[in-house]
Amino acid sequence: MPHPVDHVPPAGALGALAFQHVLTMYAGAITVPLLVASALHLSAQDTAYLVSADLFACGLVTLLQCLGLGLGLGRGGDRGGVGIRLPIIMGVTFVGVMPAIAIASQPGLGLPGVYGAAIAAGLIVLPLVPLVGRLRRVLTPTVTGTAMLLIGLSLMGVAVDWAAGGQGAADYGAPVHLLLSGGTVAVILLVTRLGTGFLANCAILTGMAAGYAVAAAMGLVDFSSAAAAPVLQLVTPFHFGLPLFDPAAIASMVVVLLITLVESSGMLTMMGDMVDRPVTTRDLSRGLRADCLGAVIGGLFNSFPYTSYAQNIALVNMTGVRSRFVCVGAGAMMLVLALFPRLSALVAAVPPSVLGGAALVLFGMVAASGIRSLAAAGLDRSREDLLVVAISLGVGLIPTFSDRFFAAAPAALAPFTHSGVLLGIVTAILLNIILGTGRATDSAFAGESDIHNQHVPAPHAGHAGG
């Protein structure tokens, strides 16, 4: 008998379970491209393409992680392999959102600068995968918790603007926008409180769908872009132009990817324990290589760095179905969904007020999970750790409150100085080294989840994934 992880369920059950995984990750997957598109003021057509590209890359990287690829590098044949071959769903991470926006906002870079940085960072970090264990001494729970908190706080301004109707809207703050955003939050709360199992795990998506339906009934949704979109369209590499390789942009993405790898190591280890297939050092390296190649794939196909999704790990825990081929099916579904631009155009047409209501909850949960991680790190027992967090938060919030603070800084440093998340992370790392604080343990990291993965409430039948 094969291990349950390697068991292939009947086609009907596999399809239904795979679709559950797609629904569970969908709200998180589409939020990042919508965030970037909104910040860069992209057209509805380009926004829809970003959504399609994200789904396409999600599918590719999920297949890579679940099926694995033996590259045959090094002794033993499998040491250079890619993919942990566990039931993992890969999706774009929030860690890179603000750095990506900072890079894309620089004159002469734009989205090609983001994609070039992602490709280069993935290739640079790939050979460093065996050193991730040592990175835990620097990227401690204090550092990663600070990063989570900063990401949530930095993105909250975007959520507020969306909830009020979108930045630059003629009727910004109109009662109808506040009612739609508030109603979306109310539905999310009701589903979280009254729903069970799978439904509770899709609270964000359910709230967005309800808000979307109400807005459409009120005539507040513009379907013209969806109607004009082609029925089928392939996602092609370099849609927005050939990648640009800027040293500062690459350095910022390297930091993003290192943070992601440390977070992923805990997630993958937890999944191995959950499905009774303990993760060895070699297994972990294979999984983290998939993260690195995920950044490369994201850059090639007009998307962003990828990591494992905690909400889908929670779904595995809830259903008890441990087959990785269910996640393979989900990856295949995402590839198919990416071929239908009208679906992506419908997603891009979500009214800002509805998106803002969901984002208020989502980004608030990211910040709250950062606070939880900091509490678990024992701030109440260490004055030095508290100082690291205090200074890092202060530095990290500078770009949020003053866009001219670094006006005299060299333009080459813009990807760092314009991203409060990176400023805060780098500050926390340096202070952590100087003060020798926050010694990490494997158990501390095993309970953490990726910064992106905190927004979907865990199922009632066993919490997993942070």
Per-residue pLDDT reduced to its tens digit, 31-71 = 899 999 999 999 999 999 999 999 999 999 999 999 998 76
What is d(CA 313, CA 322) in angstroms, rounded to the nearest whole number?
Answer: 10
Encoded tokens for 367: 């910040």
Q: Of the ranges 105-109, 259-263, 325-329, which one carries the lowest mean pLDDT score?
A: 259-263
Residue range 354-399, pLDDT digits in tens: 999 999 998 898 899 889 888 888 877 788 889 999 999 999 999 8
What is d(CA 113, CA 93) in angstroms, rounded to the nearest whole number?
Answer: 18
Residue range 271-318, pLDDT digits in tens: 998 899 998 888 999 999 999 999 999 999 999 999 888 888 878 887
Handedness of CA 252, 253, 257, 260 (dihedral sign): positive
| Whole-number percent of the chain with pLDDT over 70 | 91
What is d(CA 453, CA 466) in angstroms, rounded to the nearest whole number?
Answer: 8
Backbone angles phi, psi at 82, to 5 degrees: -130, 135
Task: Please list, in sequence order, all residues whose beta carbon lies within 8 angstroms of the beta carbon of residue 192, skipping any fewer than 6 positions away.
Answer: 200, 203, 457
- Average pLDDT for residues 97-122, to the nearest whole number? 94
Helix (H) or strand (E) holding 274: helix 247-274
What is d(CA 390, CA 424) in angstroms, rounded to the nearest whole number?
Answer: 10
Encoded tokens for 87: 């039931």
Taking Cα atoms as reference points, which of 366, 315, 287 lies closest to residue 200? Answer: 315
Per-residue pLDDT band at 458 (split at 50, 70, 90)? very low
- Average pLDDT for residues 173-198, to the nearest whole number? 92
Q: Which residue has the higher pLDDT, 187 or 196?
A: 187
Contact 4, 326 (CB under 8 A): no
Taking Cα atoms as reference points, which of 236, 243, 247, 249 lies closest to residue 96? Answer: 249
Residue range 10-27, pLDDT digits in tens: 999 899 989 989 988 888
C-alpha 153: how far from its chain's center? Answer: 16
What is d(CA 23, CA 267) in angstroms, rounded to the nearest whole number?
Answer: 20
Residue range 127-177, pLDDT digits in tens: 989 888 777 777 788 888 898 899 889 889 889 999 999 888 889 999 999
What is d(CA 8, CA 12) in angstroms, rounded to the nearest whole number?
Answer: 11
Residue 215: pLDDT above 70?
Answer: yes
- Average pLDDT for residues 89-116, to the nearest whole number? 92
Contact 435, 140 (CB under 8 A): no
Residue 72: pLDDT above 80?
Answer: no
Cα distances (Å, whole numbers) of residue 344 to 46, 47, 256, 358, 371: 10, 8, 27, 18, 34
Q: Which residues of 177-205 are buried (b: 16+ CB within 10 A; e: fewer)?
A: bbebbbbbbebbeebbeebeeeebbbbbb
Beta-carbon count within 10 A of 338 CB: 25
How many residues are recorded in the chain?
466
Mean confidence (pLDDT) of the chain: 86
What is d(CA 417, CA 406) in angstroms, rounded to the nearest whole number?
Answer: 7
